[in-house]
A and B are shown apart, each in its own frame.
Chain A
Amino acid sequence: MFDRRLIAADVLKLRRRRGMLSITLLLTLGSMALVFIVMAIQHAGNPAEYGPAGGLENYRENMSFLGLMALVVGAIVGATAGTQDLESGVFRDLAATGRSRTALFASRVTGAWAVVLPIIALAAGVSGAAATALAGSLAAPDAGALIAGTASVLAAAALGTAMAVGLSVLVGSRGPVIGILLAFYLAIQPLVIGMGFLGDVRQVMPAAALNRIGDLPQQGDLHVALAIAILAVIVWAASSLGLGAWRTRTREI
């Protein structure tokens, strides 16, 4: 099902979209660099009022923010990967080669992951290094915190990408899916997590689950069990990918 040549082809299609890649780098590496630079300048200018830019707490907050950005870039890259063959009309020619449509779908997901995950990993690495180097008088993040934080943002990127690929294939259009996912991540999800009367149901929200995996600060009073967090991420990804694969196999072109 996973064909290296097909995956390489999907990576090529994404790599050549320089505008999209620039936005992805800006939202991840750029935002992390900006946060640390601003905090470092503030600390240097007025150490009494502004603490060091690094340290464990700053690292956790930054990784929480990077997790959100990972969902956002996952939505952008994933929706592009999911629909670029369809929207360009090339999917018809690929399907007419007799190649399994499931393999074509699988290559889109893995191709998108191959683009997004290294960028997020790099941003997480930069963040971890900066948090350690600029810790000053604060406690630096230990190995456990670094691993958990990195796992959390990688999980966010993988989930955001998978959801975007699956849903965009299902809908057959890139723009609306990016819009819907951004609205979900940035507005609807915080709203739902903030609704205390929903109780434990809120544990299945992707942001809540991802923050639990990374042992990052949660919104409000929500407590999420680690097993439920992992299960929630798997279910969100699997259901989106399942719908996308089904639509790819059954679509009449």
Chain B
Amino acid sequence: MSFLLAPEARAGRRPYRRLMNSTPLIERESLAVQTEGLGKRFGSRAALEGVDLEVPRGCAFGFLGPNGAGKTTLIRLLLGLAEPSAGRMRLLGRELPGGRAAALARVGAIVEEPRFHAHLTGRENLDVHCAARDRSAHARIEGALARVGLAGRADERVKAYSLGMRQRLGVARCLLADPELLVLDEPMNGLDPAGILEFRKLIGELVGEGRTVLLSSHLLDEVEKTCDLAAIVDQGRIVAQGSIGELAGGGPRAIDIVCHSPAAAARLLAAVPGVTRAGDHEGSLRVTLSPEAPVDREIVTELLRRLLDHGVAVERVAPVAASLEDRFLTMTTHLEDSHV
């Protein structure tokens, strides 16, 4: 039985079910990561609570959340760096903690930021890491260095590396395991725009090879561009998970209108059924619609008719594409909320 998704499914956004309030559709064996009711407490504070997460194999899965939401804690639990207070975990089809050693042998991970022995060279750092892996890992050092573009500087001490080079060396270290699953915690930190582009391409290639990438990040744009699926975590709980399209599509819908006398237009449109808000937005008039109201011909016609009937000239009408950022901001706790 193949654990990987078909190439045609991988090429586009992969089919995915929403897991909230639904019965399992994906077989356990086809999941790279599965948690049930996972919890972690630090004293009286719950860092994670009742986390049910399913990451299918062969995809790039984004794990999104604001700082302190519990992203790194979940990764630490999966990697056996900390013990859960409640719940169950399966990694690459193996129940944890019993099957941890076998599962982690095929997992490459960067937690928070990649760390190295600064007094050793890049190659020596990989040598040291290989000693903890199976014997075949040594044979992968050159290939891994070449793949991340560090072959020419592998014999320099890591203390001379830039942050971006350390990130790339971290990825090379992940590749030594010939991983089925890569767990990357904020991997874009410290990369310049060209580096981010390269990194995005690399993740695409890794997924194309049938590997699973679990990418934890607070960079919404990157997750949107890199991942097929995502989960949003807030205050230790998963608040949504699904395909990027599904997650972004669940957010507020809006239409931008460029017209004369936008203040008068805002007053007129606020009274239209289905409109929750109408106001200035970067020089145009943004009309926010209720989630039930579709952005279709009917409502656009109604808005235009209302404006033209009252003598407001309209220059341009454009639906606002829903973004993951909009969705993220409506779902997660804002800094000001957390202090209430």
Residues from chain B with Cβ under 8 Å of A95 in the complex: 79-81
Given A9-B131, A93-B129, A104-B132, A98-B120 contact (CB < 8 Å): no
Q: Name B83's closest neighbour in chain A (CB-CB).
A: A252
The answer to whether A96 and B80 touch across the interface, beta carbons within 8 angstroms, is: yes
A12 at the interface (CB under 8 A from B): yes
Interface membership of A6, Cβ < 8 A: yes
Q: B76 and A253: CB pair below 8 A?
A: yes
B130 → chain A closest CB, angstroms: 8
Contact B82 A97 (CB under 8 A): no
Q: Is B115 a contact partner of A90 (Cβ separation < 8 A)?
A: yes
User: Which A63-95 residues have a C-beta within 8 angstroms of B?
Assistant: 84, 88-90, 92-95
Q: Which residue of B lies closest to A5 (CB)?
A: B131
What B residues does A17 contact at CB under 8 A? 119
Q: Give Cα A196 to B74, complex, Å.
A: 57
Closest approach, in angstroms, between the C-beta of A247 and any C-beta of chain B?
A: 15
Check if A93 sits within 8 Å of B173, measured CB to CB.
yes
B111 touches A12 (CB 8 A): no
Q: Whole-angstrom distance between the alpha carbons of A78 and B104 in the complex?
A: 29
A98 near B128 with CB under 8 A, answer no
Interface residues of A in 173-212 (CB under 8 A from B): none
B215 at interface (Cβ–Cβ under 8 A)? no
Task: Say whether, besides A95-B80, A252-B83, A6 and B132 are in contact (CB < 8 Å).
Answer: yes
For B131, list chain A residues within 8 Å (CB): 3, 5-6, 8-9
Is B277 at the interface (CB under 8 A from chain A)?
Answer: no
Chain B residues, Cβ within 8 Å of A12? 120, 124, 127-128
A96 touches which of B81, B83, B116, B120 (Cβ 8 Å): B81
Greatest chain B CB density within 10 A among A13, A17, A94, A96 is at A96
**A88: chain B residues within 8 A (beta carbon):** 115-118
A16 near B124 (CB under 8 angstroms)?
Answer: yes
**A96–B128 alpha-carbon span in the complex (Å):** 14
**B10 CB within 8 Å of chain A:** no
How many of chain B's residues have a CB under 8 angstroms from any CB in A? Answer: 34
Interfacial chain B residues near A104, Cβ < 8 Å: 132
Q: How far is the CA of A9 from the CA of B132 in the complex (A)?
A: 9
Residues of A within 8 A of B6 (CB): none
Chain B neighbourhood of A96, CB < 8 A = 79-81, 104, 107, 109, 111
* Interface mask (B45-88 → A, CB under 8 Å = 1, otherwise 0): 00000000000000000000000000000001001111100000
B73 to chain A minimum Cβ distance, whole angstroms, is: 10
Report the separation of the CA atoms of residues A96 and B101 in the bound assembly, to the nearest whole angstrom.
9
B76 neighbours in A (Cβ, 8 Å): 252-253
- Contact mask B172-208 → A, CB, 8 Å, 1/0? 0100010000000000000000000000000000000
CB contacts (< 8 Å) of B119 on chain A: these are 16-17
A239 at the interface (CB under 8 A from B): no
Within 8 A of B (CB), among A113-137: none
Cβ of A100 under 8 Å from chain B = yes
Considering only residues 1-22 of chain A, those with a C-beta below 8 Å from chain B are 3, 5-6, 8-9, 12-13, 16-17
Minimum CB distance partner of B128 in chain A: A9
Q: Which residues of A contact B114 (CB under 8 A)?
A: 93
- CB proximity of B286 to chain A, nearest CB, Å: 45
Question: With an 8 A cutoff between CB atoms, is B103 at the interface?
Answer: yes
Whether B102 is near chain A, meaning CB under 8 Å from some CB there, is yes
Most chain B beta carbons < 10 A, residue from A5, A93, A94, A95? A93
Q: Is the CB–CB distance between B117 and A98 below 8 Å?
A: no
> Hey, which chain A residues are within 8 Å of B117, CB to CB?
13, 16, 84, 88, 90
B105 within 8 A of A: yes
- B151-188 vs A: 1/0 string, CB under 8 Å? 00000000000000000000001000100000000000
Q: A252 contacts B101, CB within 8 Å?
A: no
B101 touches A100 (CB 8 A): yes
Contact of B111 among A9, A92, A100 (CB under 8 A): A92
**B133: A residues at CB distance < 8 A:** 97, 99
CB atoms of A98 and B115 under 8 A apart: no
B100 within 8 A of A: yes
Q: Is the CB of A252 within 8 A of B82?
A: yes
Closest to B114 in A: A93
Contact assessment for A97 and B128 in the assembled complex, using a CB-CB cutoff below 8 Å: no
* Alpha-carbon gap, A100 to B101, bound state (A): 8
Q: Given A8-B131, A90-B125, A253-B81, 13 more contacts at CB 8 Å? A: A5-B135, A6-B131, A13-B117, A13-B128, A16-B117, A94-B129, A95-B81, A96-B80, A97-B177, A98-B100, A99-B133, A252-B81, A252-B83
Interface residues of A (CB under 8 A from B): 3, 5-6, 8-9, 12-13, 16-17, 84, 88-90, 92-100, 104, 252-253
**Can you give 29 A-B contacts (C-beta < 8 A)?**
A5-B135, A6-B131, A8-B131, A9-B132, A12-B127, A12-B128, A16-B120, A17-B119, A88-B116, A88-B117, A88-B118, A90-B115, A90-B117, A90-B125, A90-B128, A90-B129, A92-B115, A93-B109, A95-B81, A96-B80, A97-B104, A97-B177, A98-B100, A98-B101, A100-B101, A252-B82, A253-B76, A253-B81, A253-B82
